[in-house]
Structure 1
Amino acid sequence: MTKTGGICINQLKLNYTHDMEKAMYSAHGVCFADYSRKLDVRMKVERRREREYLQSQHILTNIEKKLHY
Protein backbone atom coordinates (compact mmCIF):
# COMPACT_ATOMS: atom_id res chain seq x y z
CA MET A 1 0.00 0.00 0.00
CA THR A 2 1.30 3.43 -0.88
CA LYS A 3 0.23 6.69 0.67
CA THR A 4 -0.10 9.87 -1.37
CA GLY A 5 -1.48 13.07 0.05
CA GLY A 6 -3.26 11.33 2.90
CA ILE A 7 -4.93 8.78 0.59
CA CYS A 8 -3.99 5.11 0.79
CA ILE A 9 -3.82 3.32 -2.55
CA ASN A 10 -3.64 -0.45 -2.75
CA GLN A 11 -1.63 -1.92 -5.57
CA LEU A 12 -3.57 -4.72 -7.21
CA LYS A 13 -1.88 -8.08 -7.22
CA LEU A 14 -3.13 -9.52 -10.49
CA ASN A 15 -2.16 -12.70 -12.27
CA TYR A 16 -2.32 -12.20 -16.00
CA THR A 17 -1.18 -13.86 -19.21
CA HIS A 18 0.65 -12.46 -22.19
CA ASP A 19 -2.62 -12.48 -24.18
CA MET A 20 -4.37 -10.51 -21.44
CA GLU A 21 -1.52 -8.00 -21.48
CA LYS A 22 -1.86 -7.56 -25.25
CA ALA A 23 -5.63 -7.17 -25.00
CA MET A 24 -5.35 -4.55 -22.24
CA TYR A 25 -2.80 -2.57 -24.21
CA SER A 26 -4.80 -2.88 -27.43
CA ALA A 27 -8.12 -1.85 -25.85
CA HIS A 28 -6.94 0.77 -23.38
CA GLY A 29 -3.37 1.70 -24.28
CA VAL A 30 -1.96 0.71 -20.88
CA CYS A 31 -0.12 -2.31 -19.54
CA PHE A 32 -1.29 -4.34 -16.56
CA ALA A 33 1.60 -3.06 -14.45
CA ASP A 34 0.42 0.54 -14.85
CA TYR A 35 -3.21 -0.52 -14.39
CA SER A 36 -2.43 -2.24 -11.11
CA ARG A 37 -0.06 0.45 -9.82
CA LYS A 38 -1.72 3.74 -10.78
CA LEU A 39 -5.16 4.63 -9.47
CA ASP A 40 -5.77 7.34 -12.08
CA VAL A 41 -5.06 4.87 -14.90
CA ARG A 42 -7.28 2.25 -13.30
CA MET A 43 -10.14 4.73 -12.90
CA LYS A 44 -9.84 5.90 -16.51
CA VAL A 45 -9.97 2.30 -17.77
CA GLU A 46 -12.91 1.40 -15.51
CA ARG A 47 -14.87 4.51 -16.54
CA ARG A 48 -14.35 3.60 -20.18
CA ARG A 49 -15.43 0.00 -19.54
CA GLU A 50 -18.56 1.20 -17.75
CA ARG A 51 -19.41 3.59 -20.59
CA GLU A 52 -18.93 0.83 -23.21
CA TYR A 53 -21.03 -1.58 -21.14
CA LEU A 54 -23.89 0.92 -20.89
CA GLN A 55 -23.71 1.58 -24.63
CA SER A 56 -23.89 -2.15 -25.37
CA GLN A 57 -26.90 -2.52 -23.06
CA HIS A 58 -28.62 0.35 -24.85
CA ILE A 59 -27.98 -1.29 -28.23
CA LEU A 60 -29.26 -4.63 -26.94
CA THR A 61 -32.43 -3.01 -25.60
CA ASN A 62 -33.08 -1.38 -28.98
CA ILE A 63 -32.58 -4.69 -30.80
CA GLU A 64 -34.90 -6.50 -28.42
CA LYS A 65 -37.59 -3.83 -28.91
CA LYS A 66 -37.36 -4.25 -32.67
CA LEU A 67 -37.66 -8.04 -32.39
CA HIS A 68 -40.82 -7.84 -30.33
CA TYR A 69 -42.70 -5.60 -32.76
Structure 2
Amino acid sequence: MLENITTRKEGFIITDSGIGLNYTSEMEKAMHQNHGIGYAEYERKLEKRLEVEKEREDSYRKSRRVVAEVERQVHR
Protein backbone atom coordinates (compact mmCIF):
# COMPACT_ATOMS: atom_id res chain seq x y z
CA MET A 1 0.00 0.00 0.00
CA LEU A 2 1.23 3.50 -0.78
CA GLU A 3 2.21 5.53 2.23
CA ASN A 4 0.43 8.87 2.52
CA ILE A 5 2.65 11.92 2.88
CA THR A 6 1.08 14.65 4.97
CA THR A 7 2.48 18.17 5.23
CA ARG A 8 1.18 21.26 6.97
CA LYS A 9 1.28 24.50 5.02
CA GLU A 10 -0.22 27.79 6.22
CA GLY A 11 -2.83 26.08 8.40
CA PHE A 12 -3.85 23.48 5.82
CA ILE A 13 -3.03 19.81 5.84
CA ILE A 14 -2.10 18.52 2.42
CA THR A 15 -2.19 14.76 1.92
CA ASP A 16 -0.65 13.03 -1.06
CA SER A 17 -2.40 9.70 -1.64
CA GLY A 18 -0.27 8.84 -4.62
CA ILE A 19 -2.85 9.12 -7.41
CA GLY A 20 -2.67 12.91 -7.73
CA LEU A 21 -6.15 13.98 -8.83
CA ASN A 22 -6.76 17.51 -10.04
CA TYR A 23 -10.37 18.69 -9.87
CA THR A 24 -12.47 21.84 -9.94
CA SER A 25 -15.12 22.96 -7.48
CA GLU A 26 -17.77 22.05 -10.07
CA MET A 27 -16.34 18.52 -10.31
CA GLU A 28 -16.34 18.26 -6.51
CA LYS A 29 -20.00 19.34 -6.39
CA ALA A 30 -20.97 16.84 -9.09
CA MET A 31 -19.11 14.04 -7.28
CA HIS A 32 -21.05 14.80 -4.08
CA GLN A 33 -24.39 14.99 -5.93
CA ASN A 34 -23.87 11.79 -7.90
CA HIS A 35 -21.95 9.58 -5.49
CA GLY A 36 -22.27 11.15 -2.04
CA ILE A 37 -18.51 11.53 -1.53
CA GLY A 38 -15.88 14.11 -2.37
CA TYR A 39 -12.71 13.70 -4.38
CA ALA A 40 -10.56 13.59 -1.25
CA GLU A 41 -12.37 10.48 -0.02
CA TYR A 42 -12.47 9.03 -3.55
CA GLU A 43 -8.72 9.52 -3.79
CA ARG A 44 -7.96 7.98 -0.37
CA LYS A 45 -10.22 4.92 -0.33
CA LEU A 46 -9.81 2.22 -2.94
CA GLU A 47 -13.14 0.58 -2.06
CA LYS A 48 -14.99 3.87 -2.65
CA ARG A 49 -13.20 4.37 -5.98
CA LEU A 50 -14.20 0.88 -7.09
CA GLU A 51 -17.80 1.51 -6.00
CA VAL A 52 -17.98 4.82 -7.90
CA GLU A 53 -16.40 3.35 -11.02
CA LYS A 54 -18.83 0.41 -10.98
CA GLU A 55 -21.74 2.87 -10.72
CA ARG A 56 -20.31 4.86 -13.63
CA GLU A 57 -19.89 1.73 -15.75
CA ASP A 58 -23.45 0.58 -14.97
CA SER A 59 -24.80 4.03 -15.85
CA TYR A 60 -22.85 4.07 -19.11
CA ARG A 61 -24.13 0.64 -20.11
CA LYS A 62 -27.72 1.62 -19.28
CA SER A 63 -27.43 4.80 -21.37
CA ARG A 64 -26.03 2.79 -24.30
CA ARG A 65 -29.03 0.45 -24.11
CA VAL A 66 -31.41 3.43 -24.13
CA VAL A 67 -29.62 4.97 -27.13
CA ALA A 68 -29.73 1.65 -29.00
CA GLU A 69 -33.46 1.27 -28.28
CA VAL A 70 -34.21 4.82 -29.46
CA GLU A 71 -32.17 4.32 -32.62
CA ARG A 72 -33.96 1.02 -33.26
CA GLN A 73 -37.35 2.72 -32.97
CA VAL A 74 -36.32 5.65 -35.18
CA HIS A 75 -35.13 3.37 -37.99
CA ARG A 76 -38.26 1.26 -38.27
Shorter-chain-normalised TM-score: which range? 0.7 to 0.9
Unaligned runs of 5+ in 1: 3-9
| Secondary structure in 2 matching 1:44 | helix
What letter is aligned with 2:55? R
Correspondent of 2:31 among 20, 24, 43: 24
Identity of aligned residues (%): 40
Which has more strand, going by share of residues? 2
C-alpha deviations, 1:11-55, integer Å up to 9, x for none?
A: 421111111100000100000001011000000000000000000
Unaligned runs of 5+ in 2: 4-16
Separation in 2 of the partners of 1:68 and 1:46?
33
Query: CA RMSD, aligned part only?
Result: 1.2
**What is the aligned length?**
62
Structure 1 residue 40 and structure 2 residue 47: aligned?
yes
What secondary structure sits across from 2:23 in the alignment? coil
TM-score normalized with structure 1 length: 0.84
Runs in 1 of length 4+ with deviation above 3 angstroms?
Answer: none
